[in-house]
């Protein structure tokens, strides 16, 4: 497994090396030593407290979500299908504050994103079915949920597929300008 840096400060991409043969494939989805060396903090893997999974149909957008307070770190992967995954840096002191970056996560390359605290995150399913797995370092506290509308004009995220569905919460999310005022 190799580790790549992203354009956004502190975001890492973990790229496994799947083994393919006539039976199918085998890939390592997590390696504590590689993860902790990349993050630079021994014992940091033990801070992941929750694993979650979502399943979405083609065109579904989930996001853009974040956490207030201490935020949350997460490791994100797509073990089935493919997604267009988007991060927006909302850390005021970051050199990449306000910038966004998109990644393709899929069940071919098995890339994982390490998303440190202080980012908005969202994705769109690019295949008929797409599963996304999240390993998160804090229990969910709904009172800390923050979000920006997936179609906010100031974020101008170019979703690659027509949007087929969003949750009521995502449809009613605040604007980028509103979030900036509250940070």
Question: Active-site residues: which are they?
Answer: 65, 134
Distances (CA, A) of 135 to 93, 125, 145, 154: 25, 19, 17, 29
Alpha helices (H) along the chain: 32-39, 168-171, 176-182
- Residue 64, class by beta-carbon neighbours within 10 Å (0-12 exposed, 13-18 middle, 19+ buried)? buried
Residue 16, number of CB atoms within 10 A of its CB: 19
Bond before 144 cis per omega within 30 degrees: no
- DSSP lists the bridge partners of residue 55 as 131
Residue 105 β-bridge partners: 83
């Amino acid at each position: 497994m190799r580790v790549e840096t992203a354009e956004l400060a502190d975001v890492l991409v973990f790229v496994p090396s799947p083994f393919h043969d006539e039976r199918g494939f085998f890939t390592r989805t997590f390696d504590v030593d590689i993860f902790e060396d990349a993050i630079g903090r021994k014992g940091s893997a033990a801070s992941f407290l929750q694993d979650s999974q979502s399943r979405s149909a083609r065109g579904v957008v989930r996001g853009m979500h974040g956490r207030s307070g201490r935020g949350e770190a997460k490791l994100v992967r797509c073990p089935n299908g493919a997604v267009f995954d988007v991060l927006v840096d909302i850390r005021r002191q970051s050199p990449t504050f306000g910038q966004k970056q998109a990644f393709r996560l899929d069940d071919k390359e098995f890339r994982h994103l390490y998303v440190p605290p202080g980012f908005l995150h969202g994705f769109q399913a690019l295949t008929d079915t797409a599963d996304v797995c999240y390993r998160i370092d804090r229990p969910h506290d709904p009172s800390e949920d923050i979000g920006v509308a997936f179609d906010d004009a100031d974020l101008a995220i170019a979703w690659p597929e027509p949007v087929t569905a969003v949750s009521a919460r995502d449809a009613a999310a605040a604007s980028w300008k509103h979030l900036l005022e509250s940070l």
